[in-house]
Structure 1
């Protein structure tokens, strides 16, 4: 018999994103508990852009930026 998973518990998230929730309504609109600017700031800081990492024409080091 298959094990049942708890669906009521909150997922594990990064400490900077505690309380983050996303919902999609019946019209397909995405609503979030955080402003989009805060989400983008987090992603810029913690996620490497795969398209830009091998470009020679950019003299940009993400770790030195922040």
Structure 2
């Protein structure tokens, strides 16, 4: 006998940022992530709105966030 997966009935959709409206992420039976939105758009959103903890210790991190490059003295 095989086990059948039970789907929860009428589960509400989670709230998302207005830029990510329509985002739906699922994981299929093989562990592959399926998304209803282009990954490039998700990455752009994360770059704009989430600070990178690993880069925060760098001196030029604030300049990098603003899109400026620090002039290096040679």
TM-score tier, shorter chain, comes to 0.7 to 0.9
In structure 1, the partner of 2:11 is: 8
In structure 2, the partner of 1:46 is: 49
Bigger Rg, which one: 2
User: Are 2:31 and 1:25 equivalent residues in the alignment?
Assistant: no
Q: CA deviation at 1:51?
A: 0.4
Q: Deviations over 1:2-46 (max 9, x none)?
A: xxxx85211111000001000100000001001110010000000
After superposing on structure 2, the runs of 4+ consecutive aligned residues of structure 1 that deviate more than 2 Å are 58-61
Report the aligned-residue RMSD.
Answer: 1.8
Higher relative CO (Cα under 8 Å, sequence separation at least 6) belongs to 1
Q: Which structure 1 segments of 5+ residues have no match?
A: 1-5
CA distance in 2, matches of 1:23, 1:53: 31
Aligned length: 58
In structure 1, the partner of 2:4 is: none
Q: Which structure 2 segments of 5+ residues have no match?
A: 1-8, 68-74
